Amino acid sequence: MQFILDLIQRYKNFLLFFILELIALLFTIQLHSYHRSKFINSSNFITGSIYENFVSIEDFIGLKEENTLLNKENEQLYNQIERYKTELEKLEGLATTAVFLQNKDSVKYHYISASVINNEYHHKDNFITLSEGEKSGVKSDMAVVNSKGIVGIVTQTSSNYSVAISVLNKYFKTNARFKKSNYFGTISWDGKQVNIVQLQDIPRQANIQVGDTIVTGGKSAIFPKGVLIGSVKNIEFYNKRHHKIDIQLFNDFRKLNNVQVIENLHREEIINLENNSYE
């Protein structure tokens, strides 16, 4: 017994070292799973508010660029409103108007604006910290987009902040399709180049050309249909059956600033329905 105690006493530092490394490794392994440690992430109060205050300085430097962007976005939105107005006027002349106006419940998505307070793009798995949390209605599994396209999916929330996995993360996967044809595939990232993701599972007969626009497919309860993703940059053929398609994202992940979190108001209904039909 004494011998064992002596041994422990003698190697106590090494033992401690070993135990600490083991704990750290445990945290790290949790990191490599999709829903990560609830404990260590930057959506907590201290890290969140430090990032937020520092970001205000960075924001100030990028104000001009950001303004131009917002202006452009405004322009697009105005144009859209005009288009809808004309549509509505046309409809109002028709008898179906009454039905159309009654269906206000058909609003499917709700947008929550947020700013990026910490942005990573140089790791193999990247995360983005956002300035809004549960208080503003942000919940896990909501989509994050901006005017240029998809950004990520919320995975962790606290009352004032949230963390999203970026498109540049090996756990990010979403359904996508060609804008001009209806071929569906899956978007994921191989971890090699910033702003370039891969499109997989596209059927062989699809006619693909460099420059084709890729948008979200809307076959998941997270992203709405038709949100921009990127354009085809490179097509590589492995054999006659499979090809690797590189997509250049419209978003520059080095410069993320203002984003929108999208709540799918019908999500619960969809998931409940799906669960029921599997039973």
Interface with another protein (CB under 8 A), residue from 112, 129, 132, 215:
129
| CA-based nearest residue to 189, from 251, 110, 239, 258 | 251
Q: Does 36 bind another protein (CB under 8 A)?
A: yes
Amino acid at 193: Q
| CA-based nearest residue to 253, from 175, 188, 169 | 169
Q: Does 9 bind another protein (CB under 8 A)?
A: no
Cβ at position 53, least distance to another protein in Å = 9
Cβ at position 195, least distance to another protein in Å = 11
Q: Is 225 helix (H, G, I), strand (E, B) or coil?
A: coil
Interface with another protein (CB under 8 A), residue from 52, 59, 120, 134:
120
Q: Find the part of the chain contacting another protein (CB under 8 A) among 119-127, 144-152, 262-270, 271-279.
A: 119-127
Count CB atoms within 10 A of the CB of residue 21.
10
Q: Find the part of the chain contacting another protein (CB under 8 A) among 20-28, 63-71, 93-101, 224-232.
A: 20-28
Per-residue burial over 41-62, b = 16 or more CB atoms within 10 Å of its CB, e = otherwise? bbbbeebbeebbeebeeeeeee
Interface with another protein (CB under 8 A), residue from 10, 34, 38, 40:
40
Count CB atoms within 10 A of the CB of residue 209.
9
The tally of CA atoms less than 13 A away on the side-chain side of residue 48 is: 19
Interface with another protein (CB under 8 A), residue from 6, 28, 65, 137:
28
The footprint of another protein (CB under 8 A) covers 12-13, 16-17, 20-21, 23-32, 36-37, 40-42, 44, 46-47, 50-51, 54, 118, 120, 122-125, 127, 129, 163, 194
